[in-house]
Amino acid sequence: MLTAGISSLQFSAFRNYAQLQLELRASLIVIIGDNGVGKTNILEALSLLSPGKGLRSSKLSQMTTFDITPLPCWTVAANLKEDGFDTILGTGLEYTSSGSEKRRLKINGNIVRSQADFAEHLNVIWIVPAMARLFQESGSIRRKFVDRMAYAFDPTHTNRLHRYEHYLRERSTLLREGRGDSTWLASLEKNLAEDGIAIVHARAEVVRNVTEHQPTDSASPFPRFFAQMRGEVEEWCRHMTAVAAEEKLRLAFANNRTQDAHTGGSVFGPHRSDLFVKHLGKQIPAELCSTGEQKMLLIALTLAFTKVQMEQSNRVTLLLLDDVIAHLDSHYRHYLFQELCQMVEKGAKLQTWMTGTSLSDFVYLKQSAQYIRIKNTTLYDGYDDNDS
Ligand SMILES: Nc1ncnc2c1ncn2[C@@H]1O[C@H](COP(=O)(O)OP(=O)(O)OP(=O)(O)O)[C@@H](O)[C@H]1O
Ligand SMILES: [Mg+2]
């Protein structure tokens, strides 16, 4: 039974779906189908019900079904069920009068301007195959991973990040063009310092919480980890009050104008921070772990996050696990399934969507999950023994 999550989902002209309509009635959704049938596309549509560019970070126009002429604008709408209330979240591509593409956002039919408004209702987090390299990639990917967790506790985190990036770009332009209007620069730097320290605090808080909420029971096969946000500003914040750190960051911006004018960006700030993760069993940093160990660390982090979310936040979480289950040994798989079921039984507002190519990987969930099987773009609802 579904107590909190998406109870219906509709798309038009989205990726390989000219139209799609799904009715959901469970907290665990399993999507099964051969390669290329459109499983990830469904998860991508769900990921667009949160701030950002979705789980593929694609251009908006790339998501429109490309074989329909004239090219329509894609739309995705979902009914979110929570505590007996329904909220309709809608998003889609639209073009501004100047022809640039933007995302239309609607809640209960009313246009909303900020993506943070979506985050007030729903938090979406995902593990996708591309994230297998999370610990090898540049710091920006890890920052995005942490920021997505931070939205869950403070939807205004997304506004702060947008503002910070906007001010940073504006300062870079002024410095590059040599328009050294010091009052304007000083005001930008004050705003940057204010938002910058708030961003550092929000990230540090969520990562600390996640570290503290990892499973401690000996039954967990997932690795224990230590996680921490690291960077120069993080270091200041560990020893200073927020007000003192803000002033130090403001001064750092002011004192580095000449250098920043040459390099673009800024030497200091939360855009330089990184997520450090250590595998406690091995006592080595995540980037030195094997591919399999890194995947397990990522799942362990995500599971811990859903636990914090369950205890501390009131919003519904969608957990999207794209092609994750098939790569787990059966004891990892069963533990993960058990944890997800138990969290929902204990009242977590959590709906998990999992994809795979083989029904047999999900047979353990036969009693609790809703199965959606896709064959040649036709969707079938329900488990079918003939498919396993
Ligand atoms: N804009 C688009 N218009 C039409 N089709 C598209 C568009 N973008 C992607 N596709 C197609 O959608 C199909 C399904 O993609 P998707 O990634 O969802 O498959 P999948 O079921 O997750 O496959 P796999 O098991 O290999 O991960 C692909 O064949 C892809 O080419
Ligand atoms: Mg896929």
Task: Give me the domain span that covers residue 324.
Answer: 1-121+315-388
Does residue 215 share a domain with residue 232?
A: yes
Ligand 1 pocket at CB < 6 A? 15-16, 33, 35-41, 62-66, 323, 357
Does residue 327 share a domain with residue 280?
A: no
Mean pLDDT value across residues 48-64: 94
Q: How many domains does the chain have?
A: 2
Q: How far is the CA of 282 from the centre of ligand 2 (A)?
A: 31
CATH of the domain at 267: 1.20.1050.90
Mean pLDDT value across residues 259-280: 93
Residue pair 101/94 in contact by the 8 Å Cβ criterion: yes
Residue pair 334/328 in contact by the 8 Å Cβ criterion: no
Mean pLDDT value across residues 137-162: 92
Give CA angle at 164 (160, 169), nearest 5°: 150
% the chain with pLDDT above 90: 81
Q: What is the pLDDT of residues 306-320, one digit of tens each?
A: 999 888 888 999 999
Residue 65 alpha carbon, nearest atom of ligand 1: 3
Does residue 32 share a domain with residue 7?
A: yes
Among candidate residues 257, 284, 308, the one where a domain is terminated: 308
At residue 388, the pLDDT reads 59
Q: How far is the CA of 35 from the centre of ligand 1 (A)?
A: 8
Does residue 203 share a domain with residue 106?
A: no
Residue nearest to atom 28 of ligand 1 (CA): 36
At residue 180, the pLDDT reads 64
Does residue 250 share a domain with residue 354?
A: no
Residue pair 74/84 in contact by the 8 Å Cβ criterion: no
Does residue 130 share a domain with residue 19?
A: no
Mutation pick for ligand 1 pocket among 37, 55, 320 (CB with most ligand atoms within 8 Å): 37
Does residue 283 share a domain with residue 138?
A: yes
Residue 231 backbone zone (phi > 0: left; psi -120 to 50: alpha; other: beta): left
Is 177 a residue whose pLDDT tops 90? no
Residue nearest to atom 29 of ligand 1 (CA): 36
At residue 171, the pLDDT reads 95
| DSSP-H helix ranges across the chain | 39-47, 116-119, 139-153, 156-176, 182-212, 232-239, 242-255, 257-263, 291-312, 330-345
Q: What is the mean pLDDT of the chain?
A: 93
Does residue 68 share a domain with residue 177?
A: no
Written as one string, the DSSP assignment of 257-297 is: HHHHHHHSS-SSSGGG-EEEEEETTTTEEGGGS-HHHHHHH
CATH of the domain at 100: 3.40.50.300
- Of 364, 368, 363, the C-alpha closest to 384 is 363
Q: What is the pLDDT of residues 217-244, one digit of tens each?
A: 888 999 999 999 999 999 999 999 999 9
Mean pLDDT value across residues 255-284: 93
At residue 215, the pLDDT reads 81
Q: How far is the CA of 40 from the centre of ligand 1 (A)?
A: 7
Q: Which residue did the predictor score with more confidence, 204 or 151? A: 204
Does residue 374 share a domain with residue 294?
A: no
Does residue 15 share a domain with residue 148?
A: no
Residue 37 alpha carbon, nearest atom of ligand 1: 21
Does residue 52 share a domain with residue 1?
A: yes
Among candidate residues 308, 336, 367, the one where a domain is terminated: 308
3-state secondary structure at position 21: strand
What distance in Å separates the CA atoms of residue 41 and residue 20, rounded to the nearest whole number? 11
Is 387 a residue whose pLDDT tops 70? no
Among candidate residues 241, 275, 308, the one where a domain is terminated: 308
Does residue 3 share a domain with residue 29?
A: yes
- Of 280, 299, 305, the C-alpha closest to 337 is 299
